[in-house]
Structure 1
Amino acid sequence: MDGVKHTSEDSELISETIEKLPVSVSREGKGKRLWKKVKYQLVEYNSLPAYLRDNEFILGHYRSEWPLKQVLLSVFTIHNETLNVWTHLIGFFLFLSLTIYTAMKVPKVVDLHSLQLPEVLKADLHKLQECLPSLPCMPDLHKLSGELKSTLPSIDLLPSFSRWHVMDLLYNCLPERFSHSNQTDVCVLRSMKEDVANMIAPLMLRPITRWPFFAFLGGAMFCLLASSTCHLLSCHSERLTYIMLRLDYAGIAALISTSFYPPVYYSFMCNPFFCNLYLGFITLLGVATILVSLLPVFQNPEFRTVRASLFLGMGLSGVAPILHKLILFRHQPEALHTTGYEVLMGIFYGIGALIYATRIPERWMPGKFDIAGHSHQLFHVLVVAGAYTHYQAGLVYLKWRDLEGCRGT
């Protein structure tokens, strides 16, 4: 009887277990889904692993050790890195657009409308035709005037001329009767021919090389994209955080070093010694800083001073060529114009670095700027503003050298 009784009780127990089994499985499934949601919720600063703790004044809305898929999707969600990602991602697309636009508009960087060429050129060409009648080396100036006027909108520049070629062409057409007679007539004629040559020559020049300008744009895009990627992916794991930070530092080094290419090259393109000296020095510093940023051996604490010194050296290396430019071209308005842009760029970068270092404003009200308005976001905006200011300076350099070449250097 006992065995039958036990068997009956066991059967009842099994039946009850079977009846309850679907509910338990269902609850377990709901529990897993709930835990999954909880696991990918934003956490507070105190819950972070040590490698993710960077700013104790940002108290919440952190992502911590999320799977890569969830990390990538978080670019479209709200957390304390959202604006850090998008401020530089938008900046990247801005500079990508500027690069494409500049590449498509290379000849039109020169503002020909500001020269008021058509009317002035027409009048001076008529005067020159009257002074130099029927000379075999002179072109048909009436025809040339019409051709130049018709080509102004398209600015398809001729390949084989330079400003000095035009000057020589006009000087060689001086009539022999002026060579040993009235010196006043010679001076007037030469002065008039200089004016005409200075107006014609820009239309006959190929634009100067753009590679230093595009090197800067490439450095800016690399820096902005590396920074945006770093802020997006660093919460995945300690290993990925380490890699992304190294890439971010390399991007900063690339931006700083390539920023000096346009001012150095276009200021000293007619002085090869100083051009090569300054470009070589900043390039070596940039390569060294990038290597120090990427190679693991230089991440040890004993190399902290070396890393800081390289970044500081890159920033200070721009002082010498800028001062040299101001001395060399003190009478050129473009020198002051570009220096003004460069000073403004330095102000943007300097204020951004100061805000980043002092962690203002979140240190005044911890937790109030977790999502928007904290120091790193302000730093990102100022970096984009500084880089865009330098882009505007680059346009001034291009216009200056396209029009002037090495004349007066």
Structure 2
Amino acid sequence: MASSTTSTSCEACKCVDGNMGKEEKRKYELIGYDELPEWLKDNEFIHGYYRCEWPMKETILSIFSIHNETLNVWSHLVGFLLFLCLTIFTAMVIPMDGSNKSGSIATWGDLVDMANVTVALRHDALAACLLLPPSAAAAGLSEDGQQIWPPNTSSSSLFHHRHAIQIQDHRLQDIGGTTAVDPVTRWPLFAYLAGAMVCLLTSSACHLLLCHSEHAAYLTLRLDYAGIAALIAASFYPLSYYTFLCHPSTQRLYMASITFLGAAAATASLLPAFQAPRLRPLRAALFSAMGASGVVPIAHKLVIYGATAPGAVASARFEALMGACYGVGVVVYAARVPERWAPGRFDLVGHSHQLFHLFVVAGAYAHYLAGLEYLKWRDFDKCY
């Protein structure tokens, strides 16, 4: 969305009541594309249901009303809440040290099921969001012992992974007889989760607030683009850190490179011209190229570990799914379909930006599953 030195102001409100000695009540109405000032024109194929220069209070409250940004706001706001729950879940369930405070040996076994069985993930994530202890989550019990879903006893692989954990713990027993499993550091996965939440929250805020004023659009759009750069850069951290754990020089090279690219993309997004509608393909190309550069460390990973480490292959599958989701989303965003084919018909539901948001959440979730595979792999296959 371009800033314009000759921008016009839209008729934002309409008086519906006389003052009668009191302050006039005003009703803020939705307008059409042709009535928008230049700085708010972005997609000519969306014809109506625009908010324009509403006061901040009404702008914020419009999160509960229907307009052409409603689903853009809520799709990423729900995505943010999903990743907040996943962060809580990850902190509660994934073993952080050698101690087993919950009294359950089903730690990585549950994660294997969670990563491969969608219903198990929903159950465990719900438990984390409800702040239930991991042992209760595994058994399907509430804190008062009530059954809230069937216990997770879905596959024989759970038994084998639990047995592997017991063997590993036995091998790592210290002189005092206590287990001392030494998991790999978790910060790269939490850095990714933080990047995902920043991206989703700034995007949601941008779509909600940018109609308030030209200055608000200027600020929120830059935050939105910076959030995208943060998500892409943070996505590389689990990949680079865990894959090249045994090759520290290569690890540092990849992590420094993506940090530099992320900072460069965030800096470019601060330029006023970057938000111009005519630069939509350039924005898509910049972030796509940044994300596509992940093919290099993934290919490098498969060359080194493809034949010897199942975790490398499993994580690469989820990364391929992530790339497919992001790729399709970017194509839809840049092409502005389906509204290009039927202008005005997809103003409220189904236009390209809404579909792009859904693909972003799906791709981010696929990468979270890849992160779980990295932890499982490196917890039991470290470098000494």
Match of 1:397 in 2: 374
1:338 partner letter = S
Distance 2:328 2:206 in 1: 22
Change (3 A) 1:349 1:308: closer
Please say if residues 75 and 358 of structure 2, whose CA atoms lie closer than 8 Å, have aligned partners that are also in contact: yes
Change (3 A) 1:271 1:110: farther
Match of 2:338 in 1: 361
Shift of 1:106: 2.7
Shift of 1:204: 3.2
1:386 partner letter = G
Match of 1:118 in 2: none
Shift of 1:77: 0.5
Matching of residue 84 in structure 1 with residue 81 in structure 2: no
Match of 1:161 in 2: none
Q: Deviations over 1:6-31 (max 9, x none)?
A: xxxxxxxxxxxxxxxxxxxx984279
Matching of residue 320 in structure 1 with residue 308 in structure 2: no
Match of 1:68 in 2: 56
Instruction: Pick one of 268, 272, 275 that aligns with 1:292.
Output: 268
Distance 1:197 1:58 in 2: 59
Consecutive unaligned residues of structure 2, counting only runs of 5 or more, are 1-15, 97-105, 113-134, 137-165, 174-178
Match of 1:266 in 2: 242
Matching of residue 94 in structure 1 with residue 70 in structure 2: no
Matching of residue 111 in structure 1 with residue 111 in structure 2: no
Change (3 A) 1:300 1:97: closer
Shift of 1:378: 0.6
Q: Deviations over 1:198-253 (max 9, x none)?
A: 97349632211011001100000000000000000000111110111111100000
Match of 1:55 in 2: 43
2:340 partner letter = R
1:283 partner letter = T
> When the two structures are superposed, what TM-score results if normalisation uses the length of structure 1?
0.67
Match of 2:319 in 1: 342
Please say if residues 45 and 62 of structure 1, whose CA atoms lie closer than 8 Å, have aligned partners that are also in contact: yes
SS of match in other structure, 2:224: helix
Q: Deviations over 1:60-107 (max 9, x none)?
A: 111011010110000000101000000000000110111111112231
Comparing 339-348 and 313-322, the one that deviates more: 313-322
Q: Deviations over 1:293-333 (max 9, x none)?
A: 235597799x9999777535422321211111001002222
Q: Deviations over 1:148-206 (max 9, x none)?
A: xxxxx89xxxxxxxxxxxxxxxxxxxxxxxxxxxxxxxxxxxxxxxx967973496322
Change (3 A) 1:27 1:114: closer
Please say if residues 84 and 231 of structure 1, whose CA atoms lie closer than 8 Å, have aligned partners that are also in contact: yes
Question: Which structure's CA Rg is the greater one?
Answer: 1
2:366 partner letter = T
Shift of 1:111: 2.0
Comparing 60-69 and 285-294, the one that deviates more: 285-294
Comparing 81-90 and 365-374, the one that deviates more: 365-374
Distance 1:385 1:246 in 2: 23
Distance 1:286 1:267 in 2: 20
Distance 2:380 2:229 in 1: 32
Please say if residues 342 and 393 of structure 1, whose CA atoms lie closer than 8 Å, have aligned partners that are also in contact: yes
Instruction: Pick one of 29, 38, 52 that aligns with 2:19.
Output: 29
Instruction: Pick one of 25, 28, 31 that aligns with 1:43.
Output: 31
Q: Deviations over 1:38-68 (max 9, x none)?
A: xx10011111111111111111111011010
Matching of residue 250 in structure 1 with residue 247 in structure 2: no
Instruction: Pick one of 174, 198, 218 that aligns with 1:222.
Output: 198
Q: Deviations over 1:266-311 (max 9, x none)?
A: 000111010001011111111122122235597799x999977753
Change (3 A) 1:55 1:319: same
Change (3 A) 1:379 1:299: closer
Q: Deviations over 1:349-400 (max 9, x none)?
A: 0111111111111122222211111110010011000000000000010011
Match of 2:13 in 1: none
Change (3 A) 1:196 1:389: closer
SS of match in other structure, 1:29: coil
SS of match in other structure, 2:26: helix
2:26 partner letter = K
Aligned pairs, how many? 303
Shift of 1:404: 1.6
Shift of 1:35: 7.7
Please say if residues 42 and 63 of structure 1, whose CA atoms lie closer than 8 Å, have aligned partners that are also in contact: yes
Distance 1:254 1:343 in 2: 20
Give runs of ≥4 in structure 1 deviating > 3 Å.
Answer: 30-35, 112-115, 195-199, 201-204, 295-301, 303-313
Change (3 A) 1:261 1:240: same
Greater share of helix residues, 1 or 2? 1
Shift of 1:264: 0.8
Give percent identity, aligned residues only.
Answer: 56
1:335 partner letter = A
Change (3 A) 1:33 1:375: farther
Match of 1:388 in 2: 365
Please say if residues 73 and 203 of structure 2, whose CA atoms lie closer than 8 Å, have aligned partners that are also in contact: yes
